Amino acid sequence: MRPTKSKDIGLLVIRLAIGACMLIFHGIPKVSGGIETLEKIGNAMKHIGITFMPMIWGGAAAGIEVIGSLLFMIGLWTRPVSFLLAGTMLVATIFHLGEGHGWAKSSHTIELFFVFIAFALMGAGKYSVDKK
């Protein structure tokens, strides 16, 4: 297998796995949790000094995690979507650290932050809608 082809297959595997996990374990629970969940998620913004309209911020996070995850998986608008997903992971990391959950509890969001930053920099690879 050529190095370029195996790299592109690797990027596809990462996009599908990370995107599906974001959708199933993060996005869908936020959306299906209702208004109270969205408000609770939006209140995380207080850790960066934003205390108004928590439901709007929670809805934005949920929307980015659902729609963004789907777009990430198919490789459409990968760079801007990855940047938005990285932003949600940054806020989630700040929330976990601000609530005293510690570095170990924050490690998952930190790891995802860097995965999304990497995709924002390098793109989706050959096997994506972006490349069609």
Count Cβ atoms within 10 A of the Cβ of residue 28 and give its class: 0-12 exposed, 13-18 middle, 19 or more buried. Answer: middle
Q: Which of 71, 65, 68 is nearest to 28 (CA)?
A: 65
- pLDDT value at residue 119: 97
CA 61 – CA 91 distance, rounded (Å): 10
How big is the chain, counted in residues?
132
Distances (CA, A) of 8 to 121, 122, 127: 15, 11, 6
pLDDT in tens, the chain (132 residues): 566 788 999 999 999 999 999 999 999 999 999 999 999 999 889 889 999 999 999 999 999 999 999 999 999 999 999 999 999 999 999 999 988 888 988 999 999 999 999 999 999 999 999 887
- pLDDT value at residue 5: 81
Specify the long-range contacts of residues 35-38, CB closer than 8 Å, at least 24 apart.
Answer: 38/62
Instruction: Return the sign of the alpha-carbon dihedral for residues 74, 45, 26, 32.
Output: negative
- What's the pTM? 0.91
- pLDDT value at residue 104: 87
Place of tokens 């793109």: 123
101 alpha-carbon distance from chain centroid:
20
Place of tokens 């659902």: 66
53 Rama sector, left if φ>0, alpha if ψ -120 to 50, beta otherwise: left
